[in-house]
Structure 1
Amino acid sequence: MIMYTHEKQFIQAGKLAAHAKKAVVLLHGRGSTAQGILSLQRHLQLEGALLLAPQATNNSWYPYSFLAPVDTNQPALGSALALVEEVVAETVKLGIQSENLYFLGFSQGACLTLEYVARHAKRYGGIVAFTGGLIGKSLTQSNYQGDFAGTPVLLTSGDNDPHVPLHRIEESVVILRDLGAAVTTEIYPGKPHSISADETLLANELVFS
């Protein structure tokens, strides 16, 4: 049984739910906020989309590095995944089909994004992970199931990011492709741990256009 450590709280922005044809779930990084990740809407082509940004309790989705053994990040990680599932359920209630559902996350939020979608692979509108990878000391293929059916997935990062090593991004790409995702990666030399204008342009071109 999942022990819930995150309160169910999220911000809605963008198109009014009753009129939205698509939805985007945005997951903030450690120490940040739902409001902070929503500020990306100024740089992304999200017209006509309902935006849903959950807020992590104490501004962190799980306590330790995403490279720590999964058990050490419980129960917070299970609770965070359950909260994302609740947000997705809200879009289902609104009649938004999964192929019109998009995900975007940065850093810890990017890791959570990838972990959620890989555990629930299906045809989504698209997935953007700015500096993140799948979660765990090692990756267990049996945790991930479904078929992305060609869903476009973008992973970006710096070549020497202090929190997300390239080898984990590469391992994540293999699993995502095995699940049928159309994955694009872009690794930037010397990029700091932040989201650049080039990354948002690429997300618009490959995922949100």
Structure 2
Amino acid sequence: MNNIIEAGVPLSEAKKAAILLHGRGATAQSILSLKEYLNLEGFALVAPQADGNTWYPYSFMAPDQSNVKALQNSLSVVQEAFDLIIQNGIAASQVYFIGFSQGACLSLDFAARNAQKFGGIIAFTGGLIGDKLKEEVYSGDFQSTPIFIGSSERDFHVPAARIQESATLLKRMNAEVKVQLFDDGEHTIRQEEVEWVNKHIFR
């Protein structure tokens, strides 16, 4: 088992769970601080730690071969976390993915490669991964899973155009997608995003 930190309600007792994926240079412990802001009472929280604090070495829009080995490893880490939750008797429809930046991209990509009815996906500044979006790598039906993507209109790392392109593809896979783009240049999680997610997904 990779380095996975658990918090919140023990998996063996929880009815719902969230997988939290940190950004580049951050830690599993740091992304768990979101439990202070999001309505995650009653959740088992599972936060994997990326090797070297990075899920993949280059931009999420770099040529695919640049990131392919690290990305496959990272997707397998998320799969381990997901399997751990399912093995504890929690339904996939009660599993949520929460990520920031690199972790947001990884959350969206893992979910789209394994689309089914999830509890929800919250991507704070992220889009689907690849130099171009390749629909053939994504499969399944989200069955109206809510997906939130929030970011700056001019984020340095995640272009708004890729967010919109990702949202379009996810909608075609029957997700209910909400995109919020803000008129600032900040690479951060905003209070407005937290409030929307709490009101509409963790209600």
Per-residue CA shift, 1:162-209, capped at 9, x if unaligned? Answer: 000011001100110010000001001014101111111111112111
Aligned to 1:49: 43
1:60-71 counterparts in 2 under 5 A?
60-71=54-65
Report the RMSD for the aligned CA atoms in angstroms: 0.9
* 1:3 aligned partner: none
Q: Deviations over 1:30-89 (max 9, x none)?
A: 000000000010000001000000000110000000001221102110000000001000
Which of the numbers 2, 17, 20 marks the counterpart of 1:8?
2
- Long gaps (5+) in structure 1: 1-6
* 2:71 aligned partner: 77
- TM-score normalised per structure 2: 0.98
Equivalent of residue 189 in structure 1, options 176, 183, 188: 183
Report the TM-score, using the length of structure 1 for normalisation.
0.95
Q: Distance in 2 between matches of 1:198 and 1:8?
A: 33
Q: Does 1:103 align with 2:61?
A: no
1:169 corresponds in structure 2 to 163
Residue identity opposite 1:184 in structure 2: K
Counterparts of 1:22-33 in structure 2, within 5 Å, are 22-33=16-27
Q: Distance in 1 between matches of 2:136 and 2:51?
A: 29
Identity of counterpart residues, as a percentage? Answer: 47
Aligned residues: 203
Match of 2:81 in 1: 87
Q: Deviations over 1:115-162 (max 9, x none)?
A: 000000000001100000000000111111000000000000001100
Structure 1 position 10, deviation (Å): 0.9
Q: Distance in 2 between matches of 1:75 and 1:145?
A: 21
| 1:88-125: CA deviation from partner (whole Å, max 9, x where unpaired) | 00011101001100000000000000000000000000
Letter in 2 for 1:62: Y
Match of 1:32, SS? coil
Q: Which residue in 2 is equivalent to 1:154? A: 148
Dislocated runs of 4+, deviation >6 Å: none
Contact map agreement 1:154 1:206 (CA 8 A) in 2: no
Greater Cα offset, 191-200 or 44-53 = 191-200
Structure 2 alignment gaps of length 5 or more: none
Give the match for residue 17 of structure 1: 11
> How far apart are the structure 2 equivalents of 1:157 and 1:206?
17
